[in-house]
């Protein structure tokens, strides 16, 4: 199991009203097993500005949609939330390595 940490610092405000989506692509080889990836807080006292709680999948806060076909994770800003420009937001998510042949 691998825990990936992502840090984002938008250059403009990203508002839910704008229906903004953030896509993390290039996850070839990742084994996920479902279409919902749960986001986690950043560990070790590092501030992530609650980045994991800024994204929702439908009404589920702290989640994003994984596409097996596209090998990507798509995140939608939660209703009523925004990511402010020039502010760092961080979160984690877990993926597995493929099984060796």
Contact 11, 85 (CB under 8 A): yes
pLDDT value at 46 more than 80: no
Overall number of domains in the chain: 1
Provide mean pLDDT across the span 58-77: 96
Structural domain includes residue 101: no
Structural domain includes residue 91: yes
Structural domain includes residue 100: no
Bigger pLDDT: 42 vs 99: 42
Provide mean pLDDT across the span 49-78: 95
pLDDT value at 81 more than 70: yes
Element housing 100 (H / E): none
pLDDT value at 44 more than 70: no
Contact 2, 98 (CB under 8 A): no
Q: What pLDDT score was predicted for residue 36?
A: 96
CB crowding 15-37: b at 16 or more within 10 Å, else e: ebeeebebebeebeebebeeeeb
Contact 93, 34 (CB under 8 A): no
pLDDT value at 20 more than 80: yes
How far from 83 is each of 50, 55, 56, 90, CA to CA, in Å? Answer: 10, 10, 13, 11
For residue 10, give its domain range: 2-95
Structural domain includes residue 68: yes
pTM: 0.89
Q: What pLDDT score was predicted for residue 1?
A: 83
Q: pLDDT tens across 25-41, in order?
A: 999 989 998 999 999 99
Question: Which of 41, 49, 39 lies closest to 14, judged by CA?
Answer: 49
């Amino acid at each position: 199991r691998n825990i990936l940490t992502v840090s984002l610092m938008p250059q403009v405000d990203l508002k839910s009203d704008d229906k903004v989506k953030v896509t993390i692509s290039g996850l070839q080889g990742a084994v996920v097993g479902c279409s919902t990836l749960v986001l986690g807080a950043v560990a070790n006292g590092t501030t992530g500005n609650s980045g994991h709680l800024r994204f929702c999948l439908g009404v589920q806060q702290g989640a994003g949609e994984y596409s097996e076909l596209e090998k990507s994770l798509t995140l939608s800003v939660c209703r009523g939330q925004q990511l402010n420009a020039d502010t760092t937001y961080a979160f984690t998510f877990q993926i597995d390595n493929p099984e060796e042949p």
